[in-house]
Structure 1
């Protein structure tokens, strides 16, 4: 090893190296000597300087060049043009990205941020101890503690500390051409437009969605955008959802390996399965459904000991047969976590060959299924159940409207022959299940779900609220009962499973709700621990008082978010002690895990849950809970963009709506007709100062006492629409309720609005 450098810090001009007197001019230095020289003498930053430092001349320079190239390939040196320097080391704690295609049994990762000038990203081996609390999986981003291996080449191992949410992709927008060239219209609501220099368009055309790099130039530090990649054109492709897919980093193209594996899959045979093809199970789905992952059947129980009872048969697509743990299909399904549904497209969790073909319970075709036989009594109480792995054949594919019409006395050619033998027994069983549901008392929020209808060009033609039919409730109750059966069976066998859990509201949220109810002169619950039936009583009283809109909104806000976890704390909203998703494995990875668990504990095949999967259930639950939230955000953002695009041609128009949210900066108003949300700045509410009162969820004028509160009905005018950002800006035309002014001296947890404005009265 070379000796310490001379105190001067200057490299010798020629001859023997001053750092190593034993070094003879012309000798090829070792890797260690080169790295030490670069570290000690910053001016040694090129092949010429290295050769000069070590006295390498003539033909020996070729050997030095080859040595330096080897060191670069080994990750010891980094090169930018002619400059050479030692690569940087990873910090002791760093953020790593695990590739989606990493081997779950032998995970590796790369730094989430890495300067390309440092050379190739170092590959980090992820080590997971037997009792590790954090167990990441392919596709995860983690915070990890780094340990560097011995030797010259920087080898690293990482011990995970936490699984992180991946950030949104930044700096994307729509290219717009104008007389001055091109500009970038950002999709983020608060971001500003930027110019794109002519040479930095990267082939992008007007209307293209692009990813850009942002740099500032000139004395005024004006930001300018450079197109890095063209994602697509939402207008020409008729897919506004493309923006959300890219900004939220949702995979929507299947890798070739996944497609190949799906295409190679062969239809399951009867081997190792019970034959349920004579049981006339039927599917009841939306009229435009492309995949059918659940089928149902009911018949009266002939057991004299169960008068008025029924036997239910439920068939669920056997996805586990086709998607094996550790396969390319499995890794991609885990990465996606769930299917994502947009008005203009569906991004499925599994390729079409699996989701719409082999696993879709098509009418008249043999299909592999995980099946369930449930016996209920006349009051809807479950007496017993059993799981089976079967081959079934759907007797009919019906839509909700079709099945409901038949029960209501208007059968068609298809449902007529099914009415007596199939549909009426199903409705009789549902009547019993409805009794059990009413006794259980799940949370009964009135939350109408609006749907957007598009034309062939992807433009909004209609916004509607689908009618809630008994046919919907029938399928919902049978699926809830099936999910309970899955959780009970796995609990009984003391095996790992992913529960669908929903926590009770926090004490703080219950207190805030109580303060709000008090402001409405409604009874305030005495207990800080409310049960679902207590919330239902609150909702009932609010409806009688004509204040259901305000209270529904606040009760919804008080609720926790449901998630997946291996630890059970019940499902508060459904008022169930145990619950696990089992009925939709085509579109939810959680259900696939539950299927594998059932296969394992019931001895139904060799494709059950592996030990490695069971050890990672906590991390799997965290990941798929995050992908579910990501999907919800993408669906919401896309709806906002479509509605903003639809309303962009109605600037100046008046609309009615309700205040859906209140913050210090203003009001969020939801329009009645379309459900579109827009913002009203507090500064535009009039000549008064408006302050935010959290206990009332209201903005109140200091001088006039004019109050705008969540749930209030208002008339607004549309002032501005930003379709790509999904943003609308309104002004309120109607008067707020007048109460006693709070005055500038009263706080009441209120915040003073920062700006004073004026609103015309109409």
Structure 2
């Protein structure tokens, strides 16, 4: 009845069904993934003769529905699969999850500890879980400091619950240990199966068959100094066509991964399962084995490598006139780091950059100046949000946190890659070839209105219009550049944006202000790019390894899967950084820090330490002297009596009170007095009304003193 009230179930007329057929709506247990990464389930109850039918779970393309996993019990709508699929041994049904009844709770991830009295404890990774006792007979070979997976027993009435060790995942006393927690917590595949390794080792280097010979073209790679795989190379020259005065020809060559990773192979299935490489401060979990990613496909200096290249012609104003794709054999003329290339342009060339300064580097920078004119005219969203990088010691702990300089060398490569991605999408569309777009929707109307109300509290206006444009946001950002609230406005504009994803249906890319966009330039680390490469090979008749009809028919499901693996990677990377920083600051409890408010909720304030890029929490119950009201419009907590309070992006001083390194969590105490809030009086009565409605809710009241 509850499900009926929720609209999940509806009454239907009774009808006939074949014996053993699944109901249209039924309860399923998800038990595994197939070779393509699709979740597989069985009916919880099955009374017919024979084994229960297998159901392949199809995820919502929008990503808005429930996110099930292995071990979950779900309510799903089921549909008979295509007869051809069943005849080939595929699942008999497909299912769409409408509700998750039970999330898997049997296993707990934690650190095995041996106490001074010789007893064993599990310190769970999740902070909200209690410690667990492990009896000696259930130790399963675990040692002090090991990351383990345990199965909790039924909780006793008194004392801590008990558990038994199921798996020892590794030691946290070794290097590269912190990322292991995120790898296992987020279920990221990190060990290549034997058949995948065998297949990669058996691959033969590509030949000149079906390729143009570009080995004399001085393409170069420009990457981070510590990069191990190099999947893009660039070159530029003035356009000699008299009809295009001042124009340039920009060339981007991308590693031809499709030459080695063919659809349906073990390599391909594992790459799809991973979806993308995952980058932690202490390790990389690659999408492809090293034999492919760091050797055969890496555009190493002085070595023949297969590539898929695009040659683009731009006018002097930065408008692209035409482009063409080529399957080539290339040889990188130089492997450069960003800082190395930039130093050469800035007047300090070294032994490697000096000989190619006039012939290669300066033409690249001249071409970038022209492409930048086109970018400036396009007006993509220009947020100013510095990125931080963790530098580790040899033992895997944090040495320091830095904010790398944003060089023109970075911007050059970024713009060359964007233009190559656009060219790929345009060609595939023109050839009517199926593809996976990189799409980014405009902010929802609700988010636009919320942002508009917030900006009004700062005396800023955001015009209403039929279609929002990035230039409107840029106008706001320009108005606050250099002002005290610049960081606040950048943060709120960022949070108003939609999340980019992959889709076979094009809606454009709002942030880049592009009508069509696809990922083409990183097939070593993103499966989406490999799909685009295969599409180009098929559409242009460039030889073997093109997109097959079977693969094209599955692009909607693949887009959902790789959008999910991308979000999984981002969450795992973020969690690892949080744990590393928390461990780094664990010895500094009671120290004072300069901080910035990075989030405001009715239960308290999230604060970020700009020096480290780390976040912690200040509970509203610890804010003294007033009854604090949450003003959603102004992104603030302010006192009912004083009208003073704290707002998103405020700079404050805080004291570190508690650190939980395994959870990556920190709790702070506010040391800065509340300030008068511009705009809080205008939204005071609205916020006060909302607050009174939730006065009885926990976490909404600060202490009165």
TM-score (norm: length of structure 2)? 0.87
- Structure 2 residue corresponding to 1:465, chosen from 387, 403, 407: 403
By how many angstroms is 1:186 displaced?
1.2
Query: Contact conserved, 2:25 with 2:77, CA < 8 A, in 1?
Result: no
Contact 1:110–1:121 (8 Å) recurs in 2? no
Distance 1:737 1:168 in 2: 46
Residue from 106, 109, 115 that aligns with 1:172: 109
Aligned to 1:99, which of 33, 37, 47?
33
- Taking the aligned partners of 1:164 and 1:585, their CA distance within structure 2 comes to 34
- Structure 1 distance, partners of 2:43, 2:180, is 24
The correspondence for 2:534, drawn from 553, 572, 596, is 596
Say yes or no: does 1:634 pair with 2:572: yes
Q: Distance in 1 between matches of 2:270 and 2:360?
A: 38
Q: Does 1:406 align with 2:358?
A: no
Q: Is the 8 A contact 2:629 2:640 kept in 1?
A: yes
SS at match of 1:258: helix
Paired residue for 1:124?
Answer: 54
- Preserved contact between residue 503 and residue 560 of structure 1 (Cα < 8 Å): yes
Question: In structure 2, what is the Cα distance between the partners aligned to 1:505 and 1:577?
Answer: 16
Distance of aligned partners of 1:440 and 1:729 in 2 relative to their CA distance in 1, 3 Å threshold = same
Compare 495-504 and 232-241 and name the one that shifted more.
232-241
Shift of 1:228: 1.1
| Equivalent runs, 1:446-525 vs 2, <5 Å | 446-525=384-463
Match of 1:145 in 2: 78
2: distance between equivalents of 1:581 and 1:553? 26
Shift in Å, 1:459: 0.5
Coordinate RMSD, CA, aligned: 3.0
Distance 1:112 1:205, change over 3 A: farther
The farther-off stretch of 611-620 and 194-203 is 194-203
Instruction: Give 1:184's aligned residue.
Output: 122
Q: Secondary structure at the match of 1:622?
A: helix
The answer to whether the 8 Å contact 2:627/2:704 transfers is no
Instruction: Tell me, yes or no, if the aligned pair for 1:125 and 1:156 is still in contact at 8 Å.
Output: no
> How far 1:522 moved relative to its partner?
2.1
CA distance in 2, matches of 1:89, 1:171: 34
Residues in 2 aligned to 1:305 and 1:442: alpha-carbon distance in whole angstroms: 29
Q: Distance in 2 between matches of 1:547 and 1:628?
A: 32
User: 1:111 is matched with which residue: 42, 46, 54?
Assistant: 42
**For residues 355 and 698 of structure 1, do their structure 2 counterparts lie closer, same or farther at Cα, with a shift above 3 Å needed?**
same
1:249 aligns with 2:187: yes
- 1:734 Cα deviation after fit: 0.6
Could you tell me whether the CA contact under 8 Å between 1:501 and 1:570 is conserved in 2?
A: yes
Given that 1:641 and 1:723 are in contact with CA atoms closer than 8 Å, whether structure 2 keeps it comes out as yes
The reply on whether 1:546 has 2:477 as its aligned counterpart is no
8 Å Cα contact 2:628/2:702 also seen in 1 = no
- Residue-by-residue CA offset, 1:203-249 (whole Å, 9 max, x unaligned): 11111111111122544485222211111112224320000000100
User: Aligned partners of 2:97 and 2:370: how far apart in 1?
Assistant: 44
2:603 and 2:700 in contact (8 A); partners too: no
Segments of structure 2 that go 5 or more residues without pairing to the other structure are 1-21, 59-68, 82-88
Deviations 1:577-611 (A, max 9, x none): 00000000000000000000001110111321111
CA distance in 2, matches of 1:328, 1:526: 52
Contact 1:720 1:728 in 2 (8 A): yes
In 1, distance between residues paired with 2:97 and 2:543? 32
Tell me which residue corresponds to 2:164. 226
Identify the residue that residue 648 of structure 1 maps to in structure 2. 586
Of structures 1 and 2, the larger Rg is shown by 1
Q: Give the whole-Å Cα distance in 2 for the aligned partners of 1:672 and 1:619.
A: 40
Name the CA distance, whole Å, in 2 between partners of 1:657 and 1:224: 40
Conserved? CA contact 1:497–1:617, under 8 Å: yes
Which shows bigger deviation, 92-101 or 645-654? 92-101
Preserved CA contact (<8 Å) 1:498 1:565: yes
Q: How many residues align?
A: 652
Give TM-score scaled by structure 1 length: 0.81
Task: Please list the CA deviations of residues 331-368 of structure 1 after superposition, one character each: whole Å capped at 9, or x if unmatched.
Answer: 00000000000000000000000000000000000000
Alignment of 1:312-461 (within 5 A): 312-461=250-399
**Separation in 1 of the partners of 2:355 and 2:51?**
66
**What's 1:162 paired with?**
96
Contact 1:100 1:332 in 2 (8 A): no
Distance 1:506 1:757, change over 3 A: closer
Residue 705 (structure 1) aligned to one of 625, 639, 643:
643
Tell me if the contact between 1:216 and 1:222 (Cα under 8 Å) persists in the aligned partners: no
2:63 is aligned to none
Q: Distance in 2 between matches of 1:641 and 1:185?
A: 14
Question: Does the Cα contact within 8 Å between 1:100 and 1:331 map onto a contact in 2?
Answer: no
Q: Distance in 1 between matches of 2:261 and 2:525?
A: 13
The residue that corresponds to 1:308 in the other structure is 246
Is contact 2:318–2:372 with CA below 8 Å preserved after alignment?
yes
Equivalent residue number for residue 52 of structure 1: none
CA distance in 1, matches of 2:704, 2:41: 55
Unaligned runs of 5+ in 1: 1-87, 129-138, 149-154
1:720 maps onto 2:658 in alignment: yes
Q: Secondary structure at the match of 2:415?
A: helix
User: Is the counterpart of residue 671 in structure 1 residue 612 in structure 2?
Assistant: no
Please identify, of 316-325 and 514-523, the stretch whose mean Cα deviation from structure 2 is larger: 514-523
Bigger mean CA deviation after superposition, 194-203 or 504-513: 194-203
- Residue 473 of structure 2 corresponds to 535
Match of 1:565 in 2: 503
Conserved? CA contact 1:145–1:158, under 8 Å = no
